Amino acid sequence: MSRTPEAAHPAVPDAAVPDFSSTNQFSQSGNEAQRASAASRDLWMARAFLPACTAALALALRPFGLGVQSSLALGLAAGGVIVLAELRLRQATLNALLGGALGALLGATAATLFALLVSRTTAAGSTKSFLEYGAVLACIYLGLLLGASKGMQWNARTAEARFAERVTGPAREELKLLDTSVLIDGRIADICEAQFLDGALIVPQFVLRELQLVADSSDGLRRQRGRRGLDVLDRMQKMPGITVRVLHEEPGPVGDVDHKLVELARRTGAKIVTNDFNLNKVATVQGLNVLNVNQLANALKPAVLPGEPMRVLILREGKEANQGVAYLDDGTMVVVDGARRCINKSVDIVVTSVHQTTAGKMIFGRLEERGEPAVAPQRQAAAAGASGGDPTGRVADSATFARPRGPLFPNRDVD
């Protein structure tokens, strides 16, 4: 009897298996530390070698007629100054280095041009030399420091944005005017939180005033709706990345809120965000852009095609005889023929048609009959055989076939 792999190689407990990951990490970190230490030693050796070279050069050339000790001291000092400059420049950013180099080059060019002008004058030789050397030092110094400071402020993306703005003109901020209805509805906050809206969201003062009047209403339901609108506005103002402004300017002293919104949108070129059907129509007729949250919600509903199966809970009876009504999770009404007897039951239906109305989407269906999809092809084949190849597809003996049990007109609408 052969042994199984488990028996041949018994399982080792997890505690008995050594963890090599931490060991590898320690070894890798140790290797990196060793490499960094070796690179640092090489750098300091090169820095120590530079003053030695400058000291040897000064001893060999004896500049300014100096003695041995003075030449050695001058060489060591020059090497130390170069090392200190290298240590200081190592801490500078790439933008500062590039800016400083470009500034020094421009300064040297300006100093050369100035020296050419000074050489044409009739001043004494010492005066000319002083002006020439002073111009070189001043121009290089100014170019180096100014170039380094401006280079630190330079950013490739900022420069690209400024160039695009200069070519195409400054980008105009897209404004959106919030209506009272969309604040009371509350879904605008979820849309903003999902980052589907950009630009500045403007709440006019008259909209805020109307929202306050609703919140101060004596009717309990209206008062609750107004307070919810104020809470939604406060929530939106606290969202990062969302700009909510209150506009104190009013287009006119007279007129209702809808009229003022339309007039303000026409003046500023802003879009109106609303749930009001009438305001949506009025603004659209006048050529204004409107963002309707209800239309967005309808567009995001899942598409349902005729013939698709679906399982729904029948909640009440419909207006027509033997109809049942169900609702999807998003509030879409589903009218089912023959489902009156299935109230408070979950049933399987087949979608027969989908109608889009001004109030939303309505789905019509019928109860799904088990086994019907398998019988239908047999009935069609029998019908084709009985017709004897008649191109019209008419059946000779209609009594042979059972009448479908579904409704005759599954697509009729409900008032």
Residue 55: the pLDDT is: 83
d(CA 173, CA 194): 20
Question: Does the structure show a pLDDT above 80 at 69?
Answer: yes
Residue 170: the pLDDT is: 46
Burial class (CB in 10 A: 0-12, 13-18, 19+), 53: exposed
Q: What stretches of 187-279 adopt beta strand conformation (E)?
A: 200-204, 243-247, 271-274
Structure-token pair, residue 383: 């019908």
Q: What is the residue-averaged pLDDT of the chain? A: 75
Burial class (CB in 10 A: 0-12, 13-18, 19+), 124: exposed
Which residue, chain included where needed, has tokens 């889009």?
Answer: 356
- Determine the Cα angle at 283 with ends 360 and 175, to 5°: 100
Residue 26: the pLDDT is: 46
Residue 37: the pLDDT is: 75
Residue 81: the pLDDT is: 82
Highest mean pLDDT among 82-91, 194-203, 385-394: 194-203
Q: Which residues contact 346 (CB under 8 A, 6 or more apart)?
A: 311, 312, 313, 314
Residue 374: the pLDDT is: 40
Model confidence at 283, in pLDDT bands (50, 70, 90)? very high
Residue 28: the pLDDT is: 54
pLDDT (mean) for 256-276: 90
Residue 154: the pLDDT is: 63
Question: Is pTM, for the whole model, over 0.85?
Answer: no
pLDDT (mean) for 67-77: 85
Lowest mean pLDDT across 171-175, 237-241, 387-391: 387-391
- Is the model more confident about 263 or about 379? 263
The domain locations on the chain are 42-153, 175-299, 304-415
β-strand pairing of 323-327 with 271-274? unpaired
CATH of domain 304-415: 2.40.50.140
Q: Give, in order, the Cα–Cα distances in Å from 177 to each of 228, 260, 279.
A: 19, 11, 13
pLDDT tens digit sequence for 298-331: 777 777 888 889 899 999 988 888 899 999 887 7
> For 336, how many CA atoms within 13 A lie in the half-sphere containing its CB?
31
Residue 167: the pLDDT is: 42
**Which residues face 362 on adjacent strands?**
333, 355
**Left, alpha or beta for 321 (phi > 0: left; psi -120 to 50: alpha)?**
beta
Residue 111: the pLDDT is: 81
Q: What percent of the chain has pLDDT over 70?
A: 74
- Which CATH number does the domain 175-299 belong to among 3.40.50.1010, 3.40.50.10860, 3.30.830.10, 3.40.50.150? 3.40.50.1010
- Is the model more confident about 182 or about 130? 182
pLDDT (mean) for 149-175: 57
Question: Does the structure show a pLDDT above 80 at 254?
Answer: no
d(CA 219, CA 226): 11
Question: Does the structure show a pLDDT above 70 at 88?
Answer: yes
Question: Does the structure show a pLDDT above 70 at 400?
Answer: no
Residue 282: the pLDDT is: 92
- Can you tell me whether residue 194 is helix, strand or coil? coil
Highest mean pLDDT among 59-73, 89-103, 302-316, 393-407: 302-316
Question: Does the structure show a pLDDT above 90 at 382?
Answer: no
Q: Which secondary structure element, helix H or strand E, spans residue 291, and what is its range?
A: strand 290-292
**Left, alpha or beta for 241 (phi > 0: left; psi -120 to 50: alpha)?**
left
Model confidence at 153, in pLDDT bands (50, 70, 90)? low
d(CA 150, CA 97): 11
Highest mean pLDDT among 116-120, 185-189, 380-384: 185-189
pLDDT tens digit sequence for 196-217: 887 789 999 999 999 999 999 8
